Amino acid sequence: MSEQKPPLLLSNYFVEKLDYEAVPGFNPAEPGAEVMAVDPDVYPVPDKPDTFMVRLRVALAGPPKSNSRCRLILSLVGFFQADAKAPEKLRNDMVFGNAPLILFGIARQVAAETTANGPYGKIILGTVNFTEIFRHKAVALPKPDSAEFSVSDKPASRPRKRIDRV
């Protein structure tokens, strides 16, 4: 039996930032007013062909003076290896669709575990359409002038240039 290499492998990930605050005055008898924002970015890793760093930022908060349970800011970084032999469309779909989705599953678990230890109970993050997020980002943001920067498996110490799905 032949072992076929998957088109995308997660080699490492870490939580880059986690900030949680239970909002005083939340009324559990009323619906929570939290709104989720999700922002993924994909970066090629220099000197490592077919390797990509994906940064996923998730924010959950309500407007001021709303009935919000919490304020949660979470940033995850993952390193993914795409199969060099896979067709380009499949590789692109895997890197821009599946890689952020894999990290989002981890973000859901981190958010659930963090909020479960708060006074208002566990929050499970809703679903996300990454295809639509990247489509909007490609239209709204200017193309970066260069994708050269240094990447490691440690948290970033300076802003990185982002690539957008084309």
pLDDT one-digit tens code per residue, 78-128: 999 999 898 888 888 899 999 999 999 999 999 999 999 999 999 999 999
Name every residue whose Cβ is closer than 8 Å to that of residue 60 and which is 6 or more positions away in sequence: 34, 35, 36, 37, 70, 71, 72, 73, 111, 123, 125
Pairwise pLDDT comparison (88 vs 17), residue with the higher score: 17
Q: Is CATH 3.10.420.10 what the domain over 8-140 is classified as, yes or no?
A: yes
Q: Where are the domains of the chain?
A: 8-140
CA angle 122, 61, 54 (to 5 degrees): 85
Give the whole-angstrom CA distance, residue 135 versus residue 114.
31
Q: How far apart are the first and last CA of the chain?
A: 37
Query: Against a cut of 0.95, is the pTM above it?
Result: no
DSSP state of 119: T
